[in-house]
Structure 1
Amino acid sequence: MFVPHKQRIRAALPLALIEHIGSTSVPGLPAKPIIDIVVGVDDVTAEEDYLVPLLAAGYLLRVREPGHRLVRTPELDVLVHVYQRDDSAVRNYLLFRDRLRASASDRELYATTKRRLIAQGFDDMNAYSDAKTEAIAAIMARARGESGK
């Protein structure tokens, strides 16, 4: 599901960094059927350079906040997070994804955490995300320790 969106975004933004992130980017990890993509652009404040082409490609603006824009598909099955290319959020998304891809034990920790939290039930997805913070922090600490980042 990621590849057609990567191609669609690449056609709109030929020079952007485009990476699949989130649980669907990690083989074997349980995930909601929503594709998360991070896009790195040269200047996130220059919306005319990336937002206009993304909207023309059929994405809808969902969030505009300092340093971050979020566009999505009308079907809500793809979320595209746009940051400045050198933003620490981009590095963190990729570091976390790569750690989960490489470490079976961290992938299992994250999967177990997600299953346990989903079984508890959450009315608010932000609360669910917040509840994963401890596991994410532990995984990121190991990833940073191994990568030196």
Structure 2
Amino acid sequence: MKFFEPNQYQSECEKLFTLYQAKIAAALPTAKVEHIGASSILGAMSKGDLDIYVEVSPTEMDKTTKILSSIGFVEKSNTLRTPALCMLEAQSADDVAVQLVAQGSEFEFFLHFRDALNTNAALVSQYNQLKKGYEGQCEDSYRTAKTQFIERVLREFRGS
């Protein structure tokens, strides 16, 4: 697993987000569409991918999944899928993922995590150190450590 410094990927992700946001907003005018993931966090290292948060009413999840499929996204296999969360990826060559989230669900944490790191440079530094420690290692081990870090940040963020 390789991680990139912010100056190596963030501007490209911003450009991609602008393109995809327009496409998604045109197809889903009432959806909340936001940039999430490491590429949305100032100074964060990343694998160089773009994550997009799409939030809709819980009753619109299935319909929205179909609409996203019609504009070039496919459901990710081997990933968490619940009535409140559907993860999709672009069928294009772009490394873009969509986290489709039901409004009011626990999965709004994507926004809370982004916001917590964007307001605390020390957390960004800790996040980058975690990533550096897993560069070249097994992705499963990294995911476990990343999950623990996210859970700790969210506990602290909610407590503040």
Report what 1:43 is aligned to.
58
Trace 1:10-25 onto structure 2 (pairs within 5 A). 10-25=25-40
Higher relative contact order (CA 8 A, sep 6+): 2
Percent of paired sites with the same residue: 27
When residues 115 and 44 of structure 1 are mapped into structure 2, their CA distance, relative to the original with a 3 A threshold, is farther
* 1:66 corresponds to: 82
The CA distance in 1 between the partners of 2:142 and 2:36, in whole Å, is: 18
Q: Could you tell me whether the CA contact under 8 Å between 1:19 and 1:37 is conserved in 2? A: yes
Segments of structure 1 that go 5 or more residues without pairing to the other structure are: none
- For 1:107 and 1:2, how far apart are their aligned partners in 2? 21
Counterparts of 1:25 and 1:115, CA distance in 2: 18
- Aligned: 1:77 with 2:95: yes
Partner of residue 113, structure 1: 130
Tell me how far apart the structure 2 counterparts of residues 112 and 101 of structure 1 sit (CA, whole Å). Answer: 16
Whole-angstrom distance in 1 between the partners of 2:100 and 2:28: 11
Q: Deviations over 1:16-64 (max 9, x none)?
A: 111111111112111112111111111256513x122211211122247
Cα RMSD after superposing both structures: 1.8
Q: How many residues align?
A: 141
Note the C-alpha offset of 1:141. 2.1
Determine if the alignment matches structure 1 residue 101 to structure 2 residue 118: yes
Cα offset for 1:2? 1.0
Q: Which runs of 5+ in 2 are unaligned?
A: 1-15
* TM, length-normalised to structure 2: 0.79
SS at match of 1:65: coil
Structure 1 stretches of 4+ with a deviation exceeding 6 A read none
